[in-house]
Amino acid sequence: QQPVQSPQAVILREGEDAVINCSSSKALYSVHWYRQKHGEAPVFLMILLKGGEQKGHEKISASFNEKKQQSSLYLTASQLSYSGTYFCGSVNLNAGGTSYGKLTFGQGTILTVHP
Amino acid sequence: DSGVTQTPKHLITATGQRVTLRCSPRSGDLSVYWYQQSLDQGLQFLIQYYNGEERAKGNILERFSAQQFPDLHSELNLSSLELGDSALYFCASSVAGDYYNEQFFGPGTRLTVL
């Protein structure tokens, strides 16, 4: 079952902040965040791991609440280049006890930044 | 540029035909993933390979098959194509194939089935 993202869309002025949430109904091993511009490939932003480790861009911040099975992406002082669709991808524990790298993506959050 | 390459960039074909999409992972990456992106289904995981072996499978149709070769490049074969198979197909790669590895996406192949 895919994670649920909220909000579905956000419109900002340059310099404003935004938070995008990602919620899973299954136990999470990791959450991966990507940004995709129209017609282009998803670009890796950040990965948050069970246990608290994070890897990703220095200018991006995110949180991971294992108990609530939720993650949030924080975009501060937004720039025009932040516009795009943001996806969270979850890696859940499989029935066989393995997780590997199978990412289940949310439906996406469309972020538009205006001058 | 992620370092993942995919060919061709665009593919237009007719229903019932068979096509092959090709992917070369980033240098040093052992795992390859295939994803399908369509307007109605979103971004969906198809299959994962690690060092030539299938590691994880999603809701990949029986008409679709993939493999990873000894040089680590991968091919996705789509047969008996239907209109609904029209989509963007992405390949991604990672160093290993675990939940803590970042995945880097290639530019995609846009498949149009007429």
The β-bridge partners of A101 are none
- The band of B97, judged by pLDDT with boundaries at 50, 70 and 90, is confident
Q: Is residue B24 within 8 Å of residue B81, measured between CB atoms?
A: no
A104 interfacial to chain B (CB closer than 8 Å): yes
Please report the pLDDT score of residue A98 as a whole number: 61
Indicate yes or no: CB of A87 within 8 angstroms of CB of B43. yes
Indicate yes or no: CB of A101 within 8 angstroms of CB of B33. yes
**CA–CA gap between residue A53 and residue A35 (Å, rounded):** 20
- How close, in Å, is residue A77 to chain B by CA atoms? 25
- The band of B53, judged by pLDDT with boundaries at 50, 70 and 90, is very high
Indicate yes or no: CB of B48 within 8 angstroms of CB of A101. yes
Task: Say if residue A7 is preceded by a cis peptide, omega within 30 of 0.
Answer: yes
- How close, in Å, is residue B72 to chain A by CA atoms? 17
Indicate yes or no: CB of B56 within 8 angstroms of CB of A102. yes
Please report the pLDDT score of residue A50 as a whole number: 80
**CA–CA gap between residue A25 and residue B22 (Å, rounded):** 34
**How many CB atoms neighbour CB B16 within 10 A?**
10
Between CA B109 and CA B98, with CA A47 as vertex, the angle to 5 degrees is 75
Indicate yes or no: CB of B103 within 8 angstroms of CB of A32. yes
- The band of B100, judged by pLDDT with boundaries at 50, 70 and 90, is confident
Inform me whether the pLDDT recorded for A95 exceeds 60. Answer: no
A103 interfacial to chain B (CB closer than 8 Å): yes
Residues 6 or more apart in contact with residue A86 via CB below 8 angstroms: A5, A20, A33, A34, A35, A36, A45, A73, A108, A109, A111
Q: In chain B, what residues touch A49 (CB-CB under 8 Å)?
A: 99-100
- The band of A5, judged by pLDDT with boundaries at 50, 70 and 90, is very high
Inform me whether the pLDDT recorded for A94 exceeds 70. Answer: no
Q: Among A103, A105, A110, which would you mutate to test the B interface (most chain B Cβ atoms within 10 Å of its Cβ)?
A: A103
pLDDT in tens, A12-42: 999 999 999 999 988 888 999 999 999 899 9
Average pLDDT over residues B5-31: 97
pLDDT in tens, B7-19: 999 999 999 999 9
B55 interfacial to chain A (CB closer than 8 Å): yes
pLDDT in tens, A46-93: 999 887 788 887 678 999 998 889 999 999 999 999 999 999 999 887
